[in-house]
Amino acid sequence: MNASIRRAAFAAGLALAFGGGTAHAASFTYHGSLADGGQPAEGRYDLRVTPYASRTASAAAAAPVTLYGVEVSEGRFSTEIEFAGNLAPDGWIGVAVRKAGTGDFVELAGRSEITLADACWSTTGNAGIGASNYLGTSDATPLVVATNGSTSAKFLPFSNGAAFQTGYGAADAARAFAPNYGTAHAVDSFAGGYSGRVPVGNDRSFVWGGTNAVNWVDSTGADQFDVWAEGGAVVNGAGLNFPTSGDVDIHPRASGDADADLTLVSRSGKWGRLYIADGTGILQIGAQGGVHINNPVQVLDSLKVDGAATKATAGAWQANSDGRIKQDIAPIDNALETLAKVQPVTFRYTDAYRAEHPQVADQRYYNVIAQQFATVFPDAVTKSGEYLPNAEKSADNEILQVDTYPAQIVTIAAVQELAQRNATLEATVRQLMARIAKLEAKGK
């Protein structure tokens, strides 16, 4: 049967209140609180519990039971008690208390009723319990859940929803949640992990901070979702046996489309999408307004492609070339002489380089040598950020890359020079042909 001892008794500066009990035959589990000198008791106490058939009965219903060394933490305790015989569900209990192992017991004034109908908590369910009964507090005191004598979790009261903290967490705003070492200071916030923190005012934010975060991982505003995960963040990866190797991994759903997709949607509904095609492994990038790759650090646009790059239709890559954004404009002179200095070559990449770039085929390629090209077009040779295979990462070992576009423009200028020379030669030939024709006419 279920039993509850509802009324607190006070005597000699000690108070003992039982929050609820569970009984089977003569066995009970008591949850209570104890005050010593007007303050929540702390330490070990001996309890002597005597059952009675009624509030005024002079004879005990069973022999008293003394519980030695009951652990009390923050004024609260939980202990098992078993009487020698069966007890009626509507009996009464008298209690005496003393500091563990010291002096005489102090009888607490009055007796507390055992009642089945008004039980406030049952480990077997709440069937038959009135709507006014509940597990918790009836004032602004926090509800503390303790295990093994230590605080495990705490509910802090707010008029519109309690905050909850567990472990070493701290939550002090309505409906805030802080497990482990998290600190949640904002309404409807979550701060977890080892270093997650939501400052005051950053309502409805979620922060998770991993163990290797250098400092606190703070939300910087309301309605944020921030994660620091030194082991990497995974979406749709748990339980699907997919490899996880990146800082953030996005996997396909367990059913449906096998491609891994990431879609970005603007406020007005414009969208762009990146996805890996499951059949080919090709990364597809598309957007309603086209794709523009920008590197704000170097100001210039930057795109690196290992291997071949293709377009759906023929045509050159476009670049901004409006005359209104240019200055110091000058024609290209001596284009043929400049091109004559460029040394085109054929070559194969080294085995070491191809080992680091397995997509590069072992075949002959056509290009120029960066060091030689720099003697003709010095501004068209830059450092790539890669280094020679198996070499120290130093300035001398950084691989050079070339932009052969200047040679293309100079080639246009060279063709124009050749066209001018050809036009001059054609005019000269016409003049010579006319003179020859006159001489031949005279000879006749």
DSSP-derived 3-state class of residue 395 = helix
- Tell me: do 98 and 206 sit in the same domain: no
Q: pLDDT tens digit string along 8-38? A: 333 333 434 444 444 444 566 676 677 787 7
pLDDT, tens only, 241-270: 566 667 788 888 777 888 888 999 999 999
Residue 382 falls within a domain, yes or no? yes
33 and 72 co-located in one domain: yes
Pure H helices in 328-404: 335-341, 351-356, 370-373
What six digits make up the tokens of 234? 């995974």
The pairs formed by 411-414 with CB atoms below 8 angstroms and a separation of 24 or more are 411/335, 411/339, 413/331, 413/332, 413/335, 414/335, 414/336, 414/338, 414/339
Q: CA-CA distance, 257 to 252, in Å (whole number)?
A: 7
The last residue of one of the domains, among 228, 253, 287, is 228
Q: Indicate the burial class of 53 (C-beta count within 10 angstroms; 0-12, 13-18, 19 or more).
A: middle
Domain boundary among 228, 247, 268: 228
Share of the chain above pLDDT 70, in %: 80
Which among 194, 198, 132 has a CA at the least distance from the CA of 163? Answer: 198
- Asked whether residue 106 falls in the same domain as residue 192, the answer is no
Cα of first residue to Cα of last residue in the chain, in angstroms, is: 145
Do 157 and 71 share a domain, yes or no? no
Tens-place pLDDT, residues 157-208: 998 999 999 988 999 999 999 998 899 999 999 999 988 999 999 999 999 9
In this predicted structure, which of 76-90, 142-156, 171-185, 378-392 has the lowest mean pLDDT? 76-90
**Structural domains in the chain (count):** 3
CATH of the domain at 420: 1.10.10
Same domain, 80 and 189: no
d(CA 116, CA 89): 6
Across 396-411, average pLDDT = 94
- Identify the domain containing residue 149 by its residue range: 143-228
Q: Is the same domain home to 188 and 78?
A: no
Coil, strand or helix: which one is 420?
helix
Those residues with Cβ within 8 angstroms of residue 267's Cβ, 6 or more apart along the chain or in another chain: none
Residue 363 falls within a domain, yes or no?
yes
Burial-class residue 441 by CB neighbours within 10 Å (0-12, 13-18, 19+).
exposed
Which of 148-162, 166-180, 341-355 is least confident? Answer: 148-162
Residues 53 and 39: beta-carbon distance below 8 Å: no
Residue 289 lies in a domain: no
The per-residue pLDDT for 348 is 97
Q: Given phi > 0 = left and psi -120 to 50 = alpha, else beta, which region is 43?
A: left
Q: Mapping DSSP to helix (H, G, I), strand (E, B) and coil, where does residue 50 land?
A: strand
Q: What single-letter DSSP state applies at residue 380?
A: G
Which of 115, 131, 165 finishes a domain? 115
> What CATH number did the domain enclosing 60 receive?
2.60.40.10
The pTM is what?
A: 0.48
User: Is the pLDDT reported for residue 7 higher than 80?
Assistant: no
Q: Is residue 322 part of a domain?
A: no
Count the helix, strand and coil residues of the chain and give each as a percent rounded to the nearest 5.
15, 35, 50
Tens digits of per-residue pLDDT, 41-55?
889 999 898 888 888
CA distance 209 to 118: 45
